[in-house]
Amino acid sequence: MTSKATEMTDVSTADPAQPARSMSVGAGLLRTARPKQWVKNVLVFAAPGAAGVAVLLDPDTLVRVVLTFVAFCLAASGTYFLNDAMDVEADRVHPTKRLRPIAAGVVPVSLAYVCAAVLLVGSVLLTLTFVNVETTTALLVYVVTTTSYSIWLKHVAIIDIVLVAAGFILRAVAGGTAADVVLSEWFLIVTSFGSLFMVTGKRYAEHVALGDSAVSHRRSLEEYSTEFLGYIRTTASAVTIVAYCLWAFEKAGDANHPIWYQLSIAPFLVALYRYAMRLEEGHGGAPEEVVLGDRFLQVAFLCWLAVFALGVYVNG
């Protein structure tokens, strides 16, 4: 009896979901909102930043862009609440997602749905009131596509990848409309296929991590093979590289000091290849964790940002 009681105590103590259950509801709500994921919304600043110093130093423009960033943070968090509430049973069989506050029982499902509605509606009202109609339209498309993804389309192969990638594109487009700048075709292509590259890497990591239980977590994974996902990553990265080179040379052609745009290709390639290497190691399941936890990747990104910024602002 003593042996059996000790065994039961050991199992209970070793339960990895225990820390999640012990957190407060407030902490659970904050964790479900996923503040770390807001780093993805920095894409809102991409188009205004590439447009030059005159755009970002205009107070009204800067306020609109910042409010757009905030609105996308609210919308993204609203989507996470909705997605986790709808996926609660599937998440409970996932090795790490079962520790999420809703799956672990910290945040009630009904409360998660209320938070989702408040955040999604609030994000749209924010841009409609303080930014402009074009940005609100981009945000609305983002909300509709992410909601459709959470409800149904995440189970449809190919469509699930495209919709997640579209979310990145809509962030970039919204930043451009908020700042009232014209978006380069090459910029949109780089954003589109770069996003597809990252999202496919996330699916690859899920496929590898879950193995035979992958289908119980996400039905679309049944139709993907690691070879097929590798094919998409290869084509997406190739298009991203070619499009970035063409974009860099296009901007160099209009610059007084073109060398900076041309030099920016090197750190861009280093960052992309570093991320590709991390994907092959199976670390792409949480892209924000890769970006925030890899010093080599951060240094490569900062080098690219510095060189590209010199191209923009030395010629600005």
Q: Give residue 20's pLDDT.
A: 53
* Judgement on whether residues 202 and 167 belong to the same structural domain of the protein: no
* Judgement on whether residues 112 and 208 belong to the same structural domain of the protein: no
Which DSSP string corresponds to 36-65?
A: GGGGGGGGGGHHHHHH-HHHHT-HHHHHHH
> 10-residue block means of pLDDT along the chain (316 residues)?
40 41 86 91 90 77 95 96 89 82 92 96 96 96 91 87 92 94 90 93 79 61 85 95 94 86 96 91 76 90 93 76
Among 157, 181, 205, the domain boundary falls at 181
Candidates 39, 92, 24; CA nearest to 293 is: 39
100: left (phi over 0), alpha (psi -120 to 50) or beta: beta
Q: Give residue 109's pLDDT.
A: 93
* Judgement on whether residues 30 and 168 belong to the same structural domain of the protein: yes
* Judgement on whether residues 262 and 122 belong to the same structural domain of the protein: no
Q: Give residue 210's pLDDT.
A: 65
Rounded CA separation 311/306 (Å): 9
Query: Using one digit for the tens of pLDDT, what is the confidence trace for 99-134?
Result: 899 999 899 999 999 999 999 999 999 999 999 999
Among 151, 181, 211, the domain boundary falls at 181
Is 17 a domain residue? no
* Judgement on whether residues 191 and 311 belong to the same structural domain of the protein: yes
* Judgement on whether residues 217 and 168 belong to the same structural domain of the protein: no
Q: For 264, which DSSP code?
A: T
Candidates 195, 208, 225, 200; CA nearest to 282 is: 208
Is 6 a domain residue? no
Is 2 a domain residue? no
Q: Is the pTM of this model over 0.85?
A: no
Q: Give residue 238's pLDDT.
A: 97
Rounded CA separation 209/283 (Å): 10
- CB-based burial, 253-275: b 16+ in 10 Å, e otherwise: eebeebebbbbbbebbebbbebb
At 25, which helix (H) or strand (E)?
helix 25-33
* Judgement on whether residues 216 and 176 belong to the same structural domain of the protein: no
Is the Cβ–Cβ distance between 191 and 40 less than 8 Å? Answer: no
Candidates 96, 87, 80; CA nearest to 40 is: 80
Candidates 187, 273, 279; CA nearest to 229 is: 279
Which DSSP string corresponds to 150-177?
A: HHTGGGSTTHHHHHHHHHHHHHHHHHHH
* Judgement on whether residues 174 and 191 belong to the same structural domain of the protein: no
Among 152, 181, 210, the domain boundary falls at 181
Is 42 a domain residue? yes
Is 218 a domain residue? yes
Domain holding 265, by residue range, is: 184-316
Q: Give residue 10's pLDDT.
A: 39
Number of domain units in the chain: 2
Altogether, the residues listed in the chain come to a count of 316
Q: Give residue 224's pLDDT.
A: 84
Q: For 183, which DSSP code?
A: P
Token match 């938070």: residue? 115
Is 193 a domain residue? yes
For 278-296, give the secondary structure using H, E and C.
HHHCCCCCCHHHHHHHCHH
* Judgement on whether residues 32 and 138 belong to the same structural domain of the protein: yes
* Judgement on whether residues 122 and 196 belong to the same structural domain of the protein: no
* Judgement on whether residues 149 and 209 belong to the same structural domain of the protein: no
* Judgement on whether residues 86 and 202 belong to the same structural domain of the protein: no
Is 4 a domain residue? no
Q: Give residue 237's pLDDT.
A: 96
Is 256 a domain residue? yes
CATH number, domain with residue 114: 1.10.357
